[in-house]
Structure 1
Amino acid sequence: MQDSIRFCAILPDYAILEFYEVQLFFMKSTLSLDEILKDEIYCQIVKQLTDNGNQASESRGWELMWLASGCFAPSAVLLKEVNLFLRSRKHQLAADCFARLQRILKNGQRKHPPHQVEVEAIQHMTTQIYHKVYFPDDTSEAFEVDSSTRAKDFCRNIADRLKLQSSEGFSLFVKILDKVISVPEGDFFFDFVRHLTEWIKKTKQREDPPKYTYQIFFMRKLWTNAVPGKDRMADIIFHYHQELPKLIRGYHKCSIDEAVQLAACIYRVRFGDNTAQFENIQLKDFLPSDLVDKLPYAEWKKRITTTHGQSRNLSSEDAKIKFLKIVYQWATFGSAFFEVKQTSDPSFPEQLLIAINKNGVNLIHPKTKDLLITYPFTSISNWSSGNTYFNMTVGDIVRGTRLLCESPL
């Protein structure tokens, strides 16, 4: 509280403050301020913006008003006055501050201070913030993100732009350093990124932490309702490109005939009817890694070429959907795979492939790809994980089966 009062006391001289000091103030106070102190902040900002002869001080005051109106609202008692003040001002930021405040009232107040991206935006008098979002098919598009944008709203905007049937099952993922983390749909986007950045800084514990940059990805996360052919755009942009690496890594149980069919689809996606590329084909880019050595190179090439030639009227996009319809027949379609080492249950191999999908947690033999056992989610009583391990208990917590796994992932 003392920090907040001290800050309010010097607000009229805000021009002498560096912007990082304002950030420090927000960092210390946004979560803990009670209504009275929030009102005091708005009162002091309004005071600074009233009959202020110092243009630099007034400009800084509007920047702070812009940040505050995107994070928290004043009490109901003061709200009417703040709204009247903002609507009566002719400053270029006044209307935007008013709109931001209405969105905060509608969508809820932020839990974390403004992210550095927001601070830098208003420092450059940019009230529209655009984020590049990357998709699995190696394309990207820029989307506007507001201070009050929640992850679920961001997902809906992306789905609408890409003409997906629904955003259900999709998620935003933030990549920062070597970590890729899903954004909870109810979180404010900038709250999540701010919290994640602070967490990374603390865990790295560097004397001079760098300015962490991040990338935003949009992908299918839940595959429960994913049916090939049902949502063409989702199949073309997301499903095919997310399922392809799992096939190539050899995670599925795939027959030679199925591998040939799938390789022909992959080739058609890349090269269409152009057969010239068969001269330099690299089997590792078209076949599951565990099947490449099952046949001689010439035999694989002959079979794939023949199968490719049987579908001359198939477009690249339709080849993606044909690929998905083949993989969809397998119980491991849409799984998240983990290669692990376990030493807790002698009845299972030490090396395991774990597939997590709509059926539950599936333990798979890494060489034969035979399904050893499936644990429905309802049977798992406890679960814990870290950077290089995860443990789970099946059945009763005291007497149940416990699986301890180490994973390089």
Structure 2
Amino acid sequence: MRKLWFNVIPGRDTEADLIFHFPQELPKYLRGYHVSTKEEMINIAALLFRISVNNDKTQLVMIPKMLKELVPGDQLKAMSENEWKKTITAAYNKQAGMTVEEAKVAFLKAVFRWPTFGCAFFEVKQTSEEKFPDIVRIAISKQGLTIIHPKTKEVLANHPFNRLANWCSGSTYFHMTIGSLVRGTKFLCETSLGYKMDDLITSYVTMYSRERKAAQTRNQRFDL
């Protein structure tokens, strides 16, 4: 499992793509965590179908029964089963000659275009911001922390790591202070996964701190 998604470019390390990146990114996609167009979903569905059946065209009739494995759960009703089958079949035929491994890398390259690629997602109950819904989705990535509306997928707030003054967690909560410790805004969440959020943020912040120190050391050497 990859913990920190930093400098991950699909296609650069095929072994890592197949062993780590694809198995981690696929469930997030099918849970509907990303914002994608209908064309993107059709193309990705064809790739996922190829990953399941390879070149066996006799399985095309099974597409309607396989839709939950091909299309994000919240988008299944975007088209009828027959329309999904028709469009996925057309996209699958255009991808003729592609291997299963190539299809997995192509899936990652498609998801890589979205700002939510490589994010870890957490659904929490927040009790601090009246303008936000009670349940929000928090995405943690190399860019920082993003608060997302779980139904519309609208970005409600972005908080880079350098804006987080403090954070802490317990068995039932995750709390953070945005801005400064004295005048910052507190954001309180109820979640059983607070320890994971805490650990992930700490790991990213530690990584950036090490990078800054390494860069300063290199600059000092050049100055000598």
Give the TM-score category using the shorter length: 0.7 to 0.9
1:112 match: none
Confirm or deny: 8 A CA contact 1:248 1:287 kept in the other structure: yes
CA offset at residue 287 of structure 1? 0.7
Instruction: Measure the CA separation in 2 of the matches of 1:250 and 1:276.
Output: 28
Amino acid at match of 1:230: R
RMSD of aligned Cα (Å): 1.2
1:286 is the counterpart of 2:84: no
Q: Indicate the SS of the match to 2:167.
A: strand
1:386 is the counterpart of 2:149: no
Q: Do the aligned partners of residues 297 and 388 (structure 1) sit closer, same or farther apart at CA in structure 2, a change above 3 Å counting?
A: farther
2:45 match: 263
Q: 2:121 aligns with which of 334, 337, 354?
A: 337
1:231 is the counterpart of 2:13: yes
CA offset at residue 408 of structure 1? 4.8
Amino acid at match of 2:120: A
Amino acid at match of 1:270: S
Amino acid at match of 2:107: F
Confirm or deny: 8 A CA contact 1:353 1:364 kept in the other structure: yes
Q: Do the aligned partners of residues 395 and 320 (structure 1) sit closer, same or farther apart at CA in structure 2, a change above 3 Å counting?
A: same
Instruction: Measure the CA separation in 2 of the matches of 1:243 and 1:221.
Output: 12
CA offset at residue 256 of structure 1? 1.3
Confirm or deny: 8 A CA contact 1:253 1:370 kept in the other structure: no
CA offset at residue 279 of structure 1? 2.2
1:130 match: none
Q: Indicate the SS of the match to 2:74.
A: coil
Q: Which has the higher contact order (CA 8 A, sep 6+)?
A: 2
Instruction: Measure the CA separation in 1 of the matches of 2:170 and 2:89.
Output: 45
Give the TM-score of the pair, scaled to structure 2: 0.82
Amino acid at match of 2:147: L
Q: Indicate the SS of the match to 1:239.
A: helix
Instruction: Measure the CA separation in 2 of the matches of 1:388 and 1:302.
Output: 46
Deviations 1:278-333 (A, max 9, x none): 32332111111110111111111111111001011111100011101110000000
Q: Indicate the SS of the match to 1:320.
A: helix
Instruction: Measure the CA separation in 2 of the matches of 1:374 and 1:336.
Output: 15
Deviations 1:127-176 (A, max 9, x none): xxxxxxxxxxxxxxxxxxxxxxxxxxxxxxxxxxxxxxxxxxxxxxxxxx
Confirm or deny: 8 A CA contact 1:261 1:304 kept in the other structure: yes
Q: How does 1:88-107 map to 2 (within 5 A)?
A: none
1:311 match: 95
CA offset at residue 251 of structure 1? 0.6
1:91 match: none
Instruction: Measure the CA separation in 2 of the matches of 1:298 and 1:386.
Output: 48
Amino acid at match of 1:358: K
Instruction: Measure the CA separation in 2 of the matches of 1:354 and 1:250.
Output: 14
Instruction: Measure the CA separation in 2 of the matches of 1:354 and 1:275.
Output: 40
Q: How does 1:160-309 map to 2 (within 5 A)?
A: 219-281=1-63, 282-309=66-93
Instruction: Measure the CA separation in 1 of the matches of 2:170 and 2:37.
Output: 35
Q: Indicate the SS of the match to 1:291.
A: helix
CA offset at residue 387 of structure 1? 2.9
Which structure 1 segments of 5+ residues have no match? 1-218
Deviations 1:360-401 (A, max 9, x none): 000111112122221001110111112332111101223211
Which structure 2 segments of 5+ residues have no match? 194-224
Q: 2:105 aligns with which of 305, 309, 321?
A: 321
In our comparison, the structure showing a higher alpha carbon Rg is 1
1:364 is the counterpart of 2:151: no
